[in-house]
Amino acid sequence: MPTVTSTASIPQVTPSSTATATSTASSDRSAVYKEAAAYLQSFLTSWQKNGLYAAGQKYVDPSQRANQTEGNLVLIAGTVTHTQPGEWVSADHFTVLADFDLRFSKEDAAAWGNGVNTRFVTFVRSSASAPYQITFATGP
């Protein structure tokens, strides 16, 4: 809260640090969202290079990981084309709406399709030094 002092009849206002804190928080969120987009691209690169099962072991929440014995969906190319901020709990738990441009080795890409795919992606980690575990959803 600003401090007001009076010198004669002219009040003097000393600004508080609130504006700076808000600005810093906003830029921190922006940095986290940029990191999230890069993390998603890294996931797609890993999926393309190592397969969905291997990529899932590193990036995806255990509840959504591909089964090693199921047909492994082969990603030929994948790009994150757009992300938009979604629900924010903290830098360790937030959601983005992401657009992916994906190309698969066969037409039947299960829950994914060739071309643009839009998903809500939730990022959760136990601490700032832990990797995110991501989950995908078609709705919020």
Assess if residue 82 is contained within a domain: yes
pLDDT for position 7 = 46
pLDDT for position 108 = 65
pLDDT for position 16 = 43
Assess if residue 52 is contained within a domain: yes
Strands 115-124 and 10-14 come out as unpaired
Q: 10-residue block means of pLDDT along the chain (140 residues)?
A: 48 43 70 96 97 93 85 89 97 97 82 92 93 94
Q: Containing domain of residue 23, as a range? A: 15-137
Assess if residue 85 is contained within a domain: yes
Count structural domains, the chain. Answer: 1
Spell out where 9-60 has E strands.
10-14
Assess if residue 6 is contained within a domain: no
Q: What is the pTM of this model?
A: 0.79
Contacts of 66 (CB under 8 A, 6+ apart): 52, 53, 56, 60, 72, 73
76's enclosing H/E stretch is strand 75-90
Assess if residue 2 is contained within a domain: no
Assess if residue 25 is contained within a domain: yes
Assess if residue 9 is contained within a domain: no
Residue 128 CA to its chain's centroid (Å): 14
CATH of the domain at 68: 3.10.450
Contacts of 32 (CB under 8 A, 6+ apart): 91, 94
Assess if residue 45 is contained within a domain: yes
